[in-house]
A = this chain, B = another copy of it.
Amino acid sequence: MEYTINRLAKLAGVSTRTLRYYDELGLLCPARISSNGYRVYGQKEIDLLKQILLYRELGVPLEEIKKILSSKDFDEQVALEKHLSALLSKQRQLDLLIANVEKTIKELKGEIIMNDQEKFEGFIKKQIDDNEKKYGKEIRTKYGNDKVDRANNKLMGMSKEQHSELENLTDELNETLKAAFEQGDPSSEMAQKTYELHKKWLCFYWDSYSKEAHKGVAQMYVDDPRFTQYYDKIAVGCAAFLRDVVFVFCK
């Protein structure tokens, strides 16, 4: 089957300008030029266009698509499987965004409150993708799957009052931690208060508390750069200090 530029455009759902542009780039040239100067596309071009559009959909620049497709060691099947996983990832991302919008509607109705970070969950592609791929797995395997899930659920269904209480608690914890850290002794009174606040804070997220899990989390603060960064914002070394505190009182 041969196609004129318009027919191909309609078939593929792109504009004729796009096809001419792709021709200009050398990305998708017609099979032949008819005697009247018209572009004529054949079967091969259809398949090629399809591949191009797939890459385009995934945000790959046209120049790069050109390189990829003209590369000698291009394996279509491998590429397709990559596409598939990329699309699945996109799907998860979209799920997050949808969840976000649903949450936002709830917030508008006054049923819940979202914190600033939550508000942008689902928008940030890289971070979440990375988070899930890089850290998500680690956390889930290392610290137990259901705990993380339940934490999420608990946050989801939190009431306004609970939410502001949590915020206050967070502030108090951070202040106390800072003060204790400045004193420098992980077994001081201030450190004990920090420990208790941290425990209380954790129980906001957890359904069941255990000292073992508490220690695990504290260790995580040091092991996982994401958490280290968070606590070290208060003061450098704070993450390690908090772990020490927890290990002192968790026995």
Contact = CB atoms under 8 A, between A and B. Distances in A.
B53 A13 contact: no
Interface residues of A, number: 40
Contacts of A102: 84
B101 A87 contact: yes
The oligomer's copy count stands at 2
A47 B115 CA distance: 11
Question: Which label, helix, strand, loop or mixed, suits the secondary structure of the A interface?
Answer: helix
A68 B6 CA distance: 35
B13 A119 contact: no
A54 B120 CA distance: 10
A131 to B, nearest CB: 12
B54 A80 contact: no
Interface of A: 1, 11-13, 46-47, 50, 53-54, 57, 76-77, 80-81, 83-84, 87-88, 90-91, 94-95, 97-98, 101-102, 104-105, 108-109, 116-117, 119-120, 123-127, 130
